Amino acid sequence: MLKVDVAGLELSPPLVLASGILGVTAKIMARVSEHLGAITTKSVGARRREGYPNPVVCPLPYGLLNAMGLPNPGIDYFEEVIREFKKLSKKPIIVSVIGSDSPEYVSSRAEEAGADAIELNVSCPHAGGLLELGMDTEQVRRIVRDLKSILSIPLFVKLSPNIQDIGKLAETCEKAGADGITAINTVRAVKIDLLSKKPLFKSIYCGLSGAAIHPIAVRCVYEIYEKVSIPIIGVGGVVNWESAVELILAGASAVGIGTALTQDIAIAKEIASGILEYMRSEGFKSVSEMIGLAHKR
């Protein structure tokens, strides 16, 4: 009942590890994959990136702020991580690729190493020009088109909630050849330190994740579903089965879990069980029957 097909990827349950959370080493990803349908890695670039100096994380009662600056070991190192994961788990691995750092080169290397899909990250709210990249429709169109011309595996594009018309940009991605949309990335935010009276993070801007952004994620998925026919992976504030089901009803074919897994990786199993119980109680025989049901008039 919990099996779904998302752009050719068979996911059971319809839950995905969101990029940036635990997707660093093969062993950790393999362990988390036991309760999920697929894994999305940390965003990877052409070369090693150190990221921003501490502080880079700030827990809140309603979520999490981070300004990591997309630190990653680079594709040379990460190729081995992909290969090792494929030996440890049968679940699909989606490799997140930084959109402004040689995405064609990194994506082709990731595919050769065994990636099952690529997620193009054009939406980080605190890493230099990446936010601006996601706001440039023509640049996103070109990158998606160029990537599709060299890939034989599915391509998802991860979009930002900070843009004015996320549905229109998703439509642009579909027309350029994208196989799916991931929505959303973190919400752009600022945290002021009361003692220094200055922004807490060196980057000034940071990304808000967790339960606080869930209604925004639902709104974005709802808008995207109205504009595209390709599948959507809904991400943002999923902390229980209710929030996961809400995203599915809004139009998501699968649901990404991020911040909640930092507290307890077993929560994915609880969410899957909750979705299954909801389906039984409401008379659904498959997840596909639920996708976008909130749009039925």
Q: What is the pLDDT of residues 213-243, one digit of tens each?
A: 999 999 999 999 999 999 999 999 999 999 9
Say if CB 161 and CB 238 are below 8 A apart.
no
Can you list the residues of the chain whose pLDDT is less than 70? 23, 124-135, 297
Q: What is the pLDDT of residue 263?
A: 82
Query: Which of the following is catalytic: 124, 173, 206, 220?
Result: 124
Which DSSP state fits 291? T
Q: What is the pLDDT of residue 92?
A: 98
Q: What is the pLDDT of residue 125?
A: 64
E strand intervals along 12-60: 15-17, 38-40, 57-60
- As to burial, measured by CB atoms within 10 angstroms (0-12 exposed, 13-18 middle, 19+ buried), residue 15 is buried
Q: What is the pLDDT of residue 129?
A: 47
4-295, superfamily in CATH?
Answer: Aldolase class I (3.20.20.70)
Residue in 93, 60, 92 with CA at minimum distance from that of residue 79: 93
Cis peptide before 181 (omega within 30 of 0): no
Q: What is the pLDDT of residue 171?
A: 97
User: Annotated catalytic, 58?
Assistant: no
Domain-by-domain residue ranges, the chain?
A: 4-295
Q: What is the pLDDT of residue 130?
A: 46
